[in-house]
Amino acid sequence: MLKVTVILCAAMLATTAWSKDDPAAGAKLYTANCTACHGADRAGMPGAFPALTDIGKRLDAAQIKDKIRKGGGLMPPFSQLSQQEIDDITSYLAK
């Protein structure tokens, strides 16, 4: 387990070194991971899942990334996503 964590951390550091946010990749990741709750059109479900259409106005990029990584409330943490993947999703959502 420790070994896996170390490899994951190394991979994250490696990707951040040359990372460039890619909203198109983020859109695919969003479809794969987030539509079940937040909807394909990011409208969410009032009362249960918040809409993410104007998320860039309510939260800054660091807060969005934090939410994806750690979850909170009824949102599960997405700790399996790489730093690059989280950056990509954030660039897709915040644009």
Residues that bind ligand HEC (CB under 6 A): 33-34, 36-38, 49-50, 52, 55, 58-59, 64, 67-68, 72-76, 78, 89
**Rounded to an integer, what distance in angstroms lies between the CA atom of residue 77 and that of residue 32?**
15
Q: How far is the CB of 25 from ligand HEC (least distance, A)?
A: 13
Where in the chain does DSSP place strands (E)? none
Which parts of the chain fold into alpha helices (H)?
2-17, 23-33, 35-38, 55-58, 61-70, 83-94
Half-sphere exposure of 20 (CA within 13 A, CB side): 1
- Residue with Cβ nearer ligand HEC (3 or 95): 95
Q: How far is the CB of 32 from ligand HEC (least distance, A)?
A: 8
- Residue with Cβ nearer ligand HEC (6 or 71): 71
Q: How far is the CB of 13 from ligand HEC (least distance, A)?
A: 21
Q: How many residues would you count in the chain?
A: 95
- Residue with Cβ nearer ligand HEC (8 or 75): 75
